[in-house]
């Protein structure tokens, strides 16, 4: 049976675990024979949105571009997994309304946990004033008011968060259930 595509949009602070969850969900869906594409915020900024800054307007433009690409993929039967900070509620709401088939996942981790995971040193640079308009430090992050799934990555293992997302997708019948292994003697 051919499945319809949809957009799985992971939002949260830098270092919250969006990419880890996106990659885990991607692997699980590929094992279930789903067509999947991950649109990672960092990769999009490097390629599709090169030259955009970090003003509110530029961030909105970047997210609209990601939304447009994910919508194209989903209407062609692909599960488009977006892992992008997406700091502003109004932009996320606009994309959800335009896309229609979007599942929002709030990857929730406290700021201090995200800072402790920061392998690139971005939070330290932002706190030192070397990076301006950094989400969570001197630019706001507006948490979703009604996300479809919330992953608390300071209290859940990556496997638990991934399982939570997959369970929601199964419950909505967007993906095939995990095949059951039966043994016959």
What's the chain's Rg over C-alpha atoms? 17
Q: Pick the catalytic residue from 74, 86, 116, 161.
A: 86
DSSP, res 4 = P
CA quadruple 48, 51, 55, 58: dihedral sign: negative
- Residue 110: which region, alpha, beta or left (left: phi > 0; alpha: psi -120 to 50)? beta
Our answer to whether residue 86 is catalytic in this structure is yes
| Alpha-carbon torsion, ordered 51, 90, 105, 29, to 10 deg | -60
Residue 128: Cβ-neighbour burial (10 angstroms; 0-12, 13-18, 19+): exposed
Positions marked catalytic:
86
């Amino acid at each position: 049976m051919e499945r319809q595509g949809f957009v799985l949009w992971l939002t949260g602070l830098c270092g919250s675990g969006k990419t880890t969850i996106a990659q885990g969900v991607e692997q699980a869906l590929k094992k279930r024979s789903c067509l999947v594409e991950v649109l990672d915020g960092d990769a999009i900024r490097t390629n599709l949105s090169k030259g955009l800054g970090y003003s509110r307007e530029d961030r909105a433009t970047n997210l609209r571009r990601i939304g447009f690409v994910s919508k194209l993929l989903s209407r062609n039967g692909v599960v488009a997994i977006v892992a992008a900070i997406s700091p502003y509620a109004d932009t996320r709401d606009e994309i959800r309304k335009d896309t229609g088939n979007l599942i929002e996942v709030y990857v929730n981790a406290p700021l201090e946990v995200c800072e402790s995971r920061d392998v690139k040193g971005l939070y330290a640079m932002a706190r030192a004033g070397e990076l301006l308009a950094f989400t969570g430090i001197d630019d706001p992050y507006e948490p979703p008011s009604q996300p479809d799934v919330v992953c608390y990555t300071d209290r859940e293992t990556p496997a638990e968060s991934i399982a939570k997302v997959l369970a929601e997708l199964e419950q909505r019948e967007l993906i095939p259930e995990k095949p059951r292994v039966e043994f016959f003697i």
